[in-house]
Structure 1
Amino acid sequence: MSTIKEVAAEAKVSVATVSRVINNNGYVNEETRKKVLQAISTLNYMPNEVARSLFKKQSKTIALIVPDIKNPFFPEIARAIEDVMSSQEYTLILCNSDGKVEKEIMYLDAMKQKYVDGIIIVTSTLTPKHIETRDIPIVALDRKISPDIPSVTVNNYEGARQAVQYLKKIGCQKIAHIRGPHAISNADERYKGFMKEVENEPWFHPELVVNGNYNVLETTEATKGLLTKYPDIDGIFAGNDYMAIGVLKAAVQLGIRIPEELSLIGFDGIQLSQLTNPEITTMAQPIYELGLTAAEQLLEMIEGKPLVQLHHHFEVKLMDGQSTKR
């Protein structure tokens, strides 16, 4: 593999001149620039990005830390972020934390050591202190960390209320909720939105809320237990589309027809919800826009620009599928 010294020798210039051409930094006359570029092409020279990162303490790389890459919501978010970053010649590193604070801290430290330029993180465990002590641009996505840390989120509470209101509108008389994990802010907000709409209903009982932990297999088993104990449930609001798929599976195993006997609505609007049979009615987040906005925020922070808006808060909207009565 050729070295920068060999390029300099081939072009009959100094190593510093080659460096200025490669980094587009400092004046080099056009004739000399052409000689250097020709030498780079002749020798098939590839700049050492690791060495460049160590020298500049930046790497044209950002990290995305998510709690569960198996949840289809996060790959869709990652696609939007990657589109923005690649257009600016940044590389994206994807990290799966399993929602564990020790893994999130490990990734923060590892990315800092690798001179990653910034991080987008989905977390319910990190505190502002974890962020402030690491001195690296960070944007919180899907879940806020603190009022002082930039974030991109949606109105989970209102979206959940609208989901339950829709189930009532189409005639559901007993509605259950498959909620996400406790202490995860968006799951808690969706639960609170559900409760606002049902807590004063004569048919409501706390056992109509079960935890699917944002996991499709756990949701399948939890739903089977719920529908076996309360066979008169005719509506379910699942806290995300991934769990809604678990509800579909449970209904099939119990011989319950959707939507004829049970109406189902999810939350997120992932593409997979349109590929199930029946297609899932859902409260759709603007997923691509969320990722794009988080990426643009991070780029502004990396470039040292002041953020015009610290927190971006989007609304969700009903995407009518086939899993609810007409």
Structure 2
Amino acid sequence: MVSIKDVAKYANVSVATVSRVLNNKDTVSEGTEKIVKEAIEALNYRPNLVARTLYKKRSSMIGLILPDITNPFFPALARAIEDKALSYGFTVILCNADGNAKKEMDYIKSLEQKYIDGFIISTSQLEVENYDQFDFPVVALDRFIKNEIPTVMANNEEGAFKATKHLMEVNCKLIAHVRGPSGVGPADDREKGFLKAVKESTIKYTIVETDYDLYTAEKVAYQLLQNNPEIDGIFAGSDLIAAGVMRAANHVGLLIPHDLQIVGFDGIQLGKMLSPSLTTIEQPIYEMGAMAVELLYKQIEKLDLEKLHYKFSTKLIKGETTKNTRGFINE
């Protein structure tokens, strides 16, 4: 195996000079740097990353903690984060917490021992006090943790308001909100937006709760539609929940959008693959993921943050689960 000493001998420089080149120090002339890099390439030298991590107390790795990787929204977020992180020279370690606080903390402690450079956290299982113990940068994504932690999220309340208003505009008379779990920030905010819209009118409405799970959402929606056959509009708390609602509607013999109109939330590819295609509220998922990485990178490099909290606007994407629509039109 080629060592750093072999590279120094080949380039006719000191080991210290090779080390400075590897660590991007400014004290090496352009000519010497070129010679060293040519030697590295000629010998196919690969630095000992473990040794460098121990020496620098940095790993060029960031942790991404997600609540449930089976929810298609989170892989879409992860893709954006990975792309942006690679551009900064970071490797992303994906941690699926499964909504389990102990599992989340175990991931954090384990990666902290490996000198992880920071975390992007998209869960809300830990107590706020837990974050005061962390000695590494953190960015909250799609969840608010506390004021001192940089946060990136969509304007969920605004998006839910748009979704509900759209159902009113297409003449729904009784609208149900099939929301996500209580205590989950985005789900709570979407209910607020829904309530704001319906309370500005005299329309009848109801709210039921489910998990962010296709089959659980299907069971909840089936019971809802069986017990309330007059419901003609549903705002689903996510596109995954909307898919469950569509399955339930099919089971009870309702035609979409003739008998029942549905709006989802997220704007993931799943919605376009459904038949009929889903009208939804689109979050700028890629931009949100990229911004989370940028905020984490600035903390790692001890750069100033222009602001701590970013809230992205949403837009209505019209599909075929609401009336008077053709294709996908941005609003």
Give me the TM-score of the superposition, normalised by structure 2: 0.91
Paired residues of 1:65 and 1:95 also in contact (CA < 8 A): yes
Q: Which residue does 1:289 correspond to in 2?
A: 287
> Following the alignment from structure 1 to structure 2, what is the Cα–Cα distance between the partners of residues 182 and 97?
18
How far apart are 1:201 and its partner, in Å? 4.4
Q: Which runs of 5+ in 2 are unaligned?
A: 325-331
Q: What whole-Å deviation, never above 9, does each CA across 1:123-165 have from its counterpart, x for those lacking one?
A: 2222332222111111101111011111011221222122112
2:139 alignment partner, SS class:
strand
1:126 alignment partner, SS class:
coil
Paired residues of 1:126 and 1:145 also in contact (CA < 8 A): no
1:186 alignment partner, SS class:
helix
Paired residues of 2:173 and 2:203 also in contact (CA < 8 A): no
Q: Which runs of 5+ in 1 are unaligned?
A: none
**Aligned partner letter, 1:323:** T
Within a 5 Å distance, the mapping from 1:181-192 to structure 2 comes to 181-192=181-192
> Following the alignment from structure 2 to structure 1, what is the Cα–Cα distance between the partners of residues 307 and 19?
38
Q: Which residue does 1:306 correspond to in 2?
A: 304
Q: Which residue does 2:328 correspond to in 1?
A: none
Q: Which residue does 2:16 correspond to in 1?
A: 16
Q: Which residue does 2:4 correspond to in 1?
A: 4
Q: Which residue does 1:95 correspond to in 2?
A: 95
Give me the TM-score of the superposition, normalised by structure 1: 0.93
> Following the alignment from structure 1 to structure 2, what is the Cα–Cα distance between the partners of residues 8 and 203?
77
**Aligned partner letter, 2:306:** V
> Following the alignment from structure 2 to structure 1, what is the Cα–Cα distance between the partners of residues 251 and 319?
21
How far apart are 1:10 and its partner, in Å? 3.7
> Following the alignment from structure 1 to structure 2, what is the Cα–Cα distance between the partners of residues 138 and 100?
19
Paired residues of 1:236 and 1:264 also in contact (CA < 8 A): yes
Question: 1:240 pairs with 238, 241, 249, which one?
Answer: 238
> Following the alignment from structure 2 to structure 1, what is the Cα–Cα distance between the partners of residues 98 and 288?
21
Bigger shift: 125-134 or 183-192?
Answer: 125-134
How far apart are 1:12 and its partner, in Å? 4.2
Q: Which residue does 1:146 correspond to in 2?
A: 146
**Aligned partner letter, 1:294:** A
**Aligned partner letter, 1:274:** K
> Following the alignment from structure 1 to structure 2, what is the Cα–Cα distance between the partners of residues 26 and 251?
65
> Following the alignment from structure 2 to structure 1, what is the Cα–Cα distance between the partners of residues 53 and 266?
38
Q: Which residue does 2:109 correspond to in 1?
A: 109
Paired residues of 1:266 and 1:283 also in contact (CA < 8 A): yes
Q: Which residue does 1:72 correspond to in 2?
A: 72
Q: Which residue does 2:259 correspond to in 1?
A: 261
Q: Which residue does 1:221 correspond to in 2?
A: 219
Q: Which residue does 1:50 correspond to in 2?
A: 50
Bigger shift: 126-135 or 90-99?
Answer: 126-135
Q: Structure 1 30/193 Cα, relative in aligned 2: closer, same or farther at 3 Å?
A: closer
Paired residues of 2:177 and 2:237 also in contact (CA < 8 A): yes
The count of aligned residue pairs is 323
> Following the alignment from structure 1 to structure 2, what is the Cα–Cα distance between the partners of residues 181 and 57?
39
Q: Which residue does 1:317 correspond to in 2?
A: 315
